[in-house]
Amino acid sequence: MSMEDYDFLFKIVLIGNAGVGKTCLVRRFTQGLFPPGQGATIGVDFMIKTVEINGEKVKLQIWDTAGQERFRSITQSYYRSANALILTYDITCEESFRCLPEWLREIEQYASNKVITVLVGNKIDLAERREVSQQRAEEFSEAQDMYYLETSAKESDNVEKLFLDLACRLIREARQNTLVNSVSSPLPGEGKSINYLTCCNFN
Ligand SMILES: Nc1nc2c(ncn2[C@@H]2O[C@H](COP(=O)(O)OP(=O)(O)OP(=O)(O)O)[C@@H](O)[C@H]2O)c(=O)[nH]1
Protein backbone atom coordinates (compact mmCIF):
# COMPACT_ATOMS: atom_id res chain seq x y z
CA MET A 1 0.00 0.00 0.00
CA SER A 2 1.49 3.37 -0.93
CA MET A 3 1.54 6.38 1.36
CA GLU A 4 -1.33 7.99 -0.56
CA ASP A 5 -3.73 5.24 0.38
CA TYR A 6 -4.41 6.63 3.81
CA ASP A 7 -4.45 9.90 5.71
CA PHE A 8 -3.44 8.43 9.06
CA LEU A 9 -1.67 5.32 10.23
CA PHE A 10 -1.90 4.23 13.84
CA LYS A 11 -0.50 1.33 15.75
CA ILE A 12 -2.77 -0.22 18.37
CA VAL A 13 -1.57 -2.98 20.70
CA LEU A 14 -3.85 -5.23 22.76
CA ILE A 15 -2.55 -6.44 26.10
CA GLY A 16 -3.99 -8.22 29.14
CA ASN A 17 -4.15 -11.63 30.80
CA ALA A 18 -4.41 -14.84 28.80
CA GLY A 19 -7.94 -15.83 27.85
CA VAL A 20 -9.64 -12.44 28.34
CA GLY A 21 -10.59 -12.29 24.64
CA LYS A 22 -7.98 -10.08 22.94
CA THR A 23 -7.78 -12.23 19.82
CA CYS A 24 -11.57 -12.48 19.60
CA LEU A 25 -11.92 -8.69 19.82
CA VAL A 26 -9.41 -8.22 17.00
CA ARG A 27 -11.04 -10.89 14.83
CA ARG A 28 -14.49 -9.47 15.45
CA PHE A 29 -13.37 -6.01 14.40
CA THR A 30 -11.14 -6.95 11.46
CA GLN A 31 -13.02 -9.96 10.07
CA GLY A 32 -16.51 -9.64 11.55
CA LEU A 33 -16.45 -13.07 13.13
CA PHE A 34 -16.20 -14.84 16.47
CA PRO A 35 -13.71 -17.64 15.99
CA PRO A 36 -14.73 -21.05 17.35
CA GLY A 37 -12.15 -22.74 19.60
CA GLN A 38 -9.67 -19.88 19.54
CA GLY A 39 -6.24 -21.14 20.66
CA ALA A 40 -3.86 -19.08 22.80
CA THR A 41 -1.81 -16.50 20.92
CA ILE A 42 1.85 -17.42 20.52
CA GLY A 43 3.99 -14.29 20.75
CA VAL A 44 2.30 -11.59 18.68
CA ASP A 45 -0.22 -11.51 15.81
CA PHE A 46 -0.80 -8.64 13.45
CA MET A 47 -3.83 -7.44 11.50
CA ILE A 48 -4.69 -4.37 9.48
CA LYS A 49 -7.98 -2.63 8.95
CA THR A 50 -8.56 0.64 7.15
CA VAL A 51 -11.59 2.65 8.22
CA GLU A 52 -13.01 5.89 6.97
CA ILE A 53 -13.76 8.60 9.49
CA ASN A 54 -15.28 11.87 8.33
CA GLY A 55 -13.94 11.25 4.83
CA GLU A 56 -10.42 10.41 5.95
CA LYS A 57 -8.78 7.03 5.53
CA VAL A 58 -7.36 5.73 8.75
CA LYS A 59 -5.20 2.66 8.61
CA LEU A 60 -5.09 0.74 11.87
CA GLN A 61 -2.26 -1.67 12.51
CA ILE A 62 -3.55 -3.90 15.26
CA TRP A 63 -1.12 -6.02 17.24
CA ASP A 64 -2.57 -8.84 19.31
CA THR A 65 -0.15 -9.98 22.01
CA ALA A 66 -0.05 -13.24 23.94
CA GLY A 67 -1.28 -12.90 27.52
CA GLN A 68 0.76 -15.79 28.83
CA GLU A 69 3.59 -14.78 31.12
CA ARG A 70 6.21 -16.75 29.18
CA PHE A 71 5.81 -14.44 26.16
CA ARG A 72 6.13 -11.23 28.18
CA SER A 73 9.64 -10.35 27.01
CA ILE A 74 8.55 -10.62 23.36
CA THR A 75 5.35 -8.64 23.77
CA GLN A 76 7.01 -5.84 25.75
CA SER A 77 9.06 -4.88 22.72
CA TYR A 78 5.85 -3.97 20.87
CA TYR A 79 4.76 -1.35 23.40
CA ARG A 80 7.24 1.35 22.55
CA SER A 81 5.94 2.48 19.18
CA ALA A 82 2.26 1.94 20.03
CA ASN A 83 0.00 4.96 19.62
CA ALA A 84 -2.68 3.26 21.68
CA LEU A 85 -2.96 0.31 24.03
CA ILE A 86 -6.15 -1.63 24.64
CA LEU A 87 -5.75 -3.10 28.12
CA THR A 88 -8.29 -5.91 28.33
CA TYR A 89 -9.67 -7.91 31.23
CA ASP A 90 -12.56 -10.38 31.53
CA ILE A 91 -15.55 -9.16 33.56
CA THR A 92 -16.19 -12.78 34.65
CA CYS A 93 -12.64 -13.19 35.96
CA GLU A 94 -11.66 -11.28 39.08
CA GLU A 95 -8.06 -12.39 38.66
CA SER A 96 -7.78 -10.67 35.27
CA PHE A 97 -8.96 -7.42 36.91
CA ARG A 98 -6.60 -7.77 39.88
CA CYS A 99 -3.66 -8.05 37.47
CA LEU A 100 -4.37 -4.61 35.95
CA PRO A 101 -1.92 -2.70 38.20
CA GLU A 102 0.78 -5.09 37.04
CA TRP A 103 -0.10 -4.32 33.40
CA LEU A 104 -0.04 -0.60 34.15
CA ARG A 105 3.48 -0.97 35.50
CA GLU A 106 4.46 -2.66 32.22
CA ILE A 107 2.95 0.25 30.29
CA GLU A 108 4.77 2.75 32.46
CA GLN A 109 8.02 0.94 31.87
CA TYR A 110 7.83 0.08 28.17
CA ALA A 111 5.33 2.35 26.39
CA SER A 112 5.70 5.94 25.26
CA ASN A 113 4.45 8.48 27.79
CA LYS A 114 2.16 9.80 25.03
CA VAL A 115 0.37 6.50 24.54
CA ILE A 116 -3.41 6.47 24.84
CA THR A 117 -4.68 3.59 26.98
CA VAL A 118 -8.23 2.25 26.90
CA LEU A 119 -9.43 -0.19 29.54
CA VAL A 120 -11.80 -2.82 28.17
CA GLY A 121 -13.97 -5.21 30.21
CA ASN A 122 -14.83 -8.02 27.78
CA LYS A 123 -17.42 -10.87 27.81
CA ILE A 124 -20.45 -8.82 28.89
CA ASP A 125 -22.65 -11.45 27.22
CA LEU A 126 -21.82 -13.57 30.31
CA ALA A 127 -23.58 -11.12 32.65
CA GLU A 128 -24.72 -13.85 35.06
CA ARG A 129 -21.10 -14.78 35.69
CA ARG A 130 -19.88 -11.22 36.25
CA GLU A 131 -17.26 -10.90 39.00
CA VAL A 132 -16.21 -7.27 38.45
CA SER A 133 -18.89 -4.57 38.66
CA GLN A 134 -19.00 -1.82 36.09
CA GLN A 135 -18.75 0.77 38.85
CA ARG A 136 -15.56 -0.72 40.24
CA ALA A 137 -13.98 -0.77 36.81
CA GLU A 138 -15.07 2.79 36.09
CA GLU A 139 -13.60 4.01 39.38
CA PHE A 140 -10.35 2.23 38.63
CA SER A 141 -10.10 3.60 35.10
CA GLU A 142 -10.91 7.13 36.26
CA ALA A 143 -8.22 6.98 38.92
CA GLN A 144 -5.76 5.86 36.27
CA ASP A 145 -6.91 8.41 33.71
CA MET A 146 -8.01 5.79 31.18
CA TYR A 147 -11.12 5.48 29.04
CA TYR A 148 -13.32 2.52 29.93
CA LEU A 149 -15.61 0.45 27.77
CA GLU A 150 -17.35 -2.91 28.21
CA THR A 151 -17.53 -5.23 25.21
CA SER A 152 -18.61 -8.61 23.97
CA ALA A 153 -16.51 -10.00 21.14
CA LYS A 154 -19.03 -12.82 20.95
CA GLU A 155 -22.14 -10.66 20.54
CA SER A 156 -20.28 -7.85 18.80
CA ASP A 157 -21.25 -5.37 21.53
CA ASN A 158 -19.23 -2.14 21.50
CA VAL A 159 -16.39 -3.64 19.44
CA GLU A 160 -16.74 -1.25 16.49
CA LYS A 161 -17.24 1.57 18.94
CA LEU A 162 -14.04 0.66 20.77
CA PHE A 163 -11.84 0.85 17.68
CA LEU A 164 -13.61 3.74 15.95
CA ASP A 165 -13.71 5.95 19.04
CA LEU A 166 -10.07 5.17 19.55
CA ALA A 167 -9.27 6.08 15.94
CA CYS A 168 -11.09 9.40 16.38
CA ARG A 169 -9.17 10.11 19.53
CA LEU A 170 -5.90 9.26 17.77
CA ILE A 171 -6.71 11.60 14.89
CA ARG A 172 -7.37 14.37 17.34
CA GLU A 173 -4.12 13.76 19.18
CA ALA A 174 -2.20 13.55 15.89
CA ARG A 175 -3.55 16.93 14.86
CA GLN A 176 -2.42 18.32 18.18
CA ASN A 177 0.91 16.69 17.45
CA THR A 178 1.17 14.92 20.75
CA LEU A 179 1.33 11.36 19.44
CA VAL A 180 4.27 9.02 19.24
CA ASN A 181 5.85 10.36 16.06
CA SER A 182 6.89 7.28 14.17
CA VAL A 183 3.56 6.12 12.82
CA SER A 184 1.27 9.13 12.99
CA SER A 185 2.44 10.49 9.66
CA PRO A 186 1.51 11.60 7.14
CA LEU A 187 -0.18 14.51 8.80
CA PRO A 188 -3.03 15.97 6.79
CA GLY A 189 -2.20 18.74 4.35
CA GLU A 190 -2.85 22.35 5.13
CA GLY A 191 -6.23 23.78 4.36
CA LYS A 192 -8.14 20.60 5.12
CA SER A 193 -11.26 21.11 7.14
CA ILE A 194 -11.21 19.82 10.67
CA ASN A 195 -14.46 18.31 11.86
CA TYR A 196 -13.16 15.28 13.70
CA LEU A 197 -14.89 16.07 16.99
CA THR A 198 -18.27 15.00 15.68
CA CYS A 199 -17.46 11.29 15.71
CA CYS A 200 -15.54 10.97 18.92
CA ASN A 201 -17.02 9.92 22.22
CA PHE A 202 -13.75 9.89 24.09
CA ASN A 203 -12.99 13.30 25.54
N1 LIG B 1 -18.66 -15.58 26.09
C2 LIG B 1 -17.61 -14.95 25.55
N3 LIG B 1 -16.46 -15.62 25.35
C4 LIG B 1 -15.42 -14.96 24.80
C5 LIG B 1 -15.50 -13.59 24.42
N6 LIG B 1 -14.30 -13.22 23.91
C7 LIG B 1 -13.52 -14.31 23.96
N8 LIG B 1 -14.19 -15.36 24.49
C9 LIG B 1 -13.65 -16.72 24.74
O10 LIG B 1 -12.57 -16.61 25.63
C11 LIG B 1 -11.54 -17.53 25.29
C12 LIG B 1 -10.21 -16.80 25.08
O13 LIG B 1 -10.32 -15.91 23.96
P14 LIG B 1 -9.03 -15.33 23.21
O15 LIG B 1 -9.51 -14.28 22.28
O16 LIG B 1 -8.21 -16.43 22.68
O17 LIG B 1 -8.26 -14.69 24.46
P18 LIG B 1 -6.84 -13.95 24.43
O19 LIG B 1 -6.94 -12.83 25.40
O20 LIG B 1 -6.45 -13.61 23.05
O21 LIG B 1 -5.87 -15.08 25.01
P22 LIG B 1 -4.25 -15.23 24.80
O23 LIG B 1 -4.02 -15.32 23.34
O24 LIG B 1 -3.88 -16.49 25.53
O25 LIG B 1 -3.63 -14.02 25.44
C26 LIG B 1 -12.01 -18.27 24.03
O27 LIG B 1 -12.58 -19.49 24.43
C28 LIG B 1 -13.08 -17.36 23.46
O29 LIG B 1 -14.09 -18.07 22.76
C30 LIG B 1 -16.74 -12.90 24.63
O31 LIG B 1 -16.94 -11.70 24.34
N32 LIG B 1 -17.75 -13.64 25.20
Per-residue pLDDT tens digits for 38-54? 789 998 899 999 999 99
As its CATH architecture, domain 6-181 has: 3-Layer(aba) Sandwich (3.40)
ipTM here: 0.99
pLDDT for 126? 98
Q: How far is the CA of 22 from the centre of ligand 1 (A)?
A: 6
Q: Binning pLDDT at 50, 70 and 90, where does residue 194 land?
A: very low
Cα separation, 116 vs 170, whole angstroms = 8
Q: How far is the CA of 73 from the centre of ligand 1 (A)?
A: 22
pLDDT at 198 over 50: no
Question: What is the average pLDDT across 4-8?
Answer: 87
> What sign does the CA torsion over 147, 151, 157, 159 have?
positive
Ligand 1 binding site (Cβ under 6 Å of any ligand atom): 18-24, 38, 40-41, 66-68, 122-123, 125-126, 152-154
Question: What is the average pLDDT across 79-106?
Answer: 97
Atom of ligand 1 nearest to the CA of 66: 25
pLDDT for 5? 87
Select from 14, 24, 31, 97 the residue to mutate for testing ligand 1; criterion: most ligand atoms less than 8 Å from CB. 24
Q: Whose CA is closest to atom 26 on ligand 1?
A: 38
Query: In terms of pLDDT, which residue wins out, 198 or 175?
Result: 175
pTM, rounded to two decimals: 0.89
Query: In terms of pLDDT, which residue wins out, 192 or 165?
Result: 165
Q: Whose CA is closest to atom 11 on ligand 1?
A: 19
Q: Which residues contact 65 (CB under 8 A, 6 or more apart)?
A: 13, 14, 15, 22, 41, 43, 44, 71, 75, 78
pLDDT for 48? 96
